[in-house]
Amino acid sequence: MKVIVEPENHILELFKIKSVKALLNRLQLYPFQALVIRDNQLLTPDEKLFPNDTVIIRKVVSRG
Amino acid sequence: MKCTRCKQKAVVALPSHNAGFCASCFLLYFQNQMEKAIKKQKMFSPRHKILVALSGGKDSLALALQLKLLGYNLECLHLDLDISDTSKQVKTIAQRFCERFELKLHIIELKKENLSIPEVKKKLSRPICSACGQIKRYYFNYFAKQNNFDVLATGHTLDDEVSRLFANTLRWDITYLQQQSPILEQDQEFVRKVKPLYRLTEFETAVFCFLHNIQYSTIPCPYSKGASFTFYKRLLDELEYNQPGRKFNFYETFLKQKSQLFPPSTSKNKINFCSICGYPTLQDICGVCRIKKMLSKTS
């Protein structure tokens, strides 16, 4: 699965991640710290993810 | 997950409210929370003229758009801080946003006021964040008063208010605890200041911007690295994750009990008016004029 982490625009290739919750855990983020976007749709933590997905992680914390 | 309200597929989970929402129900929830904040705190009414402090970040953009959608009479003010490429980018974002949503935008360029923030940072011995905040407050208030605005609205969210409350509590700073509120009443030459987003989180303003396809700035201020508020936000996020709703409860309970726990001080400091610009100050010259004076001496 391809993961784009914003705002840094880091691109990661991650494997064996089956849900949004698991992806956020892997990235050490709480669900309210980032929007999770696939095909321009927001995903809730219970959503399943698939190996061919491209997912955007848009962190939301203001940094000054 | 299904939308708590309409049972369609949810796109947002809000454990703090024990709820999930589809896109349209989330936008209704967002609107309701802001309307509740405005009414509960008696912030303003449709007859008031509102100035929105527009930084170009998600919170101030969400604030301006939601106020516009609710039919309020508002204009926006952006301060160009003159910080390398950052300021140019956020100014463009603010301009595009206001064009798209037909909002009147005013811009004050601090360079023209001889207060370019990088210059202030170079020459000032105290932390730049405190001086920058002081300069921003000065110009927002000054512009609002000069142009007959009734209210200045800022995009402070629940996360901002809770981290500030946490910091004030850690220091037991009674004066700051007395003053902390989503509404600061008009006082002498200070315009009334309000925070209509105080019931909503940064996550929720980000969702709002996403659903309205609003582009916002995510560029961090190059001078904010190591600021204590980001550390407090991380700590509070851990608390919120383990006890959903804790942030809101902490802040709401504070507001309910504030007048008993931290009654307003009866002794009032004598306010002077700055001998240079007329701005209210406890000294002869206000903080911003002192910074300007210091810059002119060292240039």
Q: At what angle do helices B202-211 and B23-40 cross, to 10 degrees?
A: 130
Across the range B238-250, mean pLDDT stands at: 97
Å from B194 to nearest chain A CA? Answer: 20
Q: What would the pLDDT profile of B124-161 be if each residue is shown by its tens digit?
A: 888 888 899 999 999 999 999 999 999 999 999 999 99
Reading the block at residue B15, the tokens are: 């454990």
Q: Which residue has the tokens 């609107």?
A: B31
Residue B238 sits at the chain A interface (C-beta within 8 Å): yes
pLDDT at B193 over 90: yes
DSSP state, B170? Answer: H
Q: What would the pLDDT profile of B170-189 be if each residue is shown by its tens digit?
A: 999 999 999 999 999 877 78
**Number of domains composing chain A:** 1
Containing B85, the helix (H) or strand (E) segment is helix B84-100
Domain layout of chain B by residue ranges: 27-265, 272-299
Residue B225 — pLDDT band, cuts 50, 70, 90?
confident
Q: What would the pLDDT profile of B22-58 be if each residue is shown by its tens digit?
A: 999 999 999 999 999 999 999 999 999 999 999 999 9
Q: Test B203 with A60 for CB contact under 8 angstroms.
A: yes
**Of the candidates B20, B233, B241, which has its C-beta nearest A44's C-beta?**
B20
Residue B299 — pLDDT band, cuts 50, 70, 90?
low
CATH of residue A41: 3.10.20.30
pLDDT more than 70, % of chain B: 98
Å from B259 to nearest chain A CA? Answer: 30
Q: What would the pLDDT profile of A9-46 be if each residue is shown by its tens digit?
A: 999 999 999 999 999 999 999 999 999 999 999 999 99
Is A32 inside any structural domain? Answer: yes
Give the angle subtended at the CA of B57 by the CAs of B52 and B62, to the nearest 5°.
Answer: 60
pLDDT at A64 over 60: no
Residues of chain A neighbouring B59 (CB-CB closer than 8 A) = 62
Query: What order of strands is seen across the sheet that includes strand A2-6?
Result: A10-13, A2-6, A54-59, A34-38, A41-42
The CATH code of the domain at B27-265 is: 3.40.50.620
Quote the CA–CA distance of A32 and A6 in Å, as a whole number.
Answer: 15
Which residues 26-85 on chain B approach chain A with CB closer than 8 angstroms? Answer: 57-59
A62 or A37: which carries more pLDDT confidence?
A37
Is A64 inside any structural domain? Answer: no
Model ipTM? 0.96
**Of the candidates A7, A33, A42, which has its C-beta nearest B12's C-beta?**
A42
pLDDT of residue B264: 82
Give the end-to-end CA distance of chain B in Å, rounded to a whole number: 61
Q: Is B190 helix (H, G, I), strand (E, B) or coil?
A: strand
pLDDT at B292 over 60: yes
Å from A41 to nearest chain B CA? Answer: 8
Domain ranges, residue A35: 2-59
The answer to whether the CB of B205 falls within 8 A of the CB of B197 is yes
Between the CA of residue B280 and those of A61, B83, B265, B284, B294, what are the distances in Å? 34, 28, 19, 9, 19
Q: Test A42 with B11 for CB contact under 8 angstroms.
A: yes
Please state, as a whole number, how many other Cβ atoms lie within 10 Å of the Cβ of residue B1.
Answer: 17
**Of the candidates B12, B20, B202, which has its C-beta nearest A62's C-beta?**
B202
Is A10 inside any structural domain? Answer: yes
pLDDT at B226 over 70: no
B278 or B209: which carries more pLDDT confidence?
B209
Of B223, B182, B247, B213, nearest to B37 by C-alpha is: B182
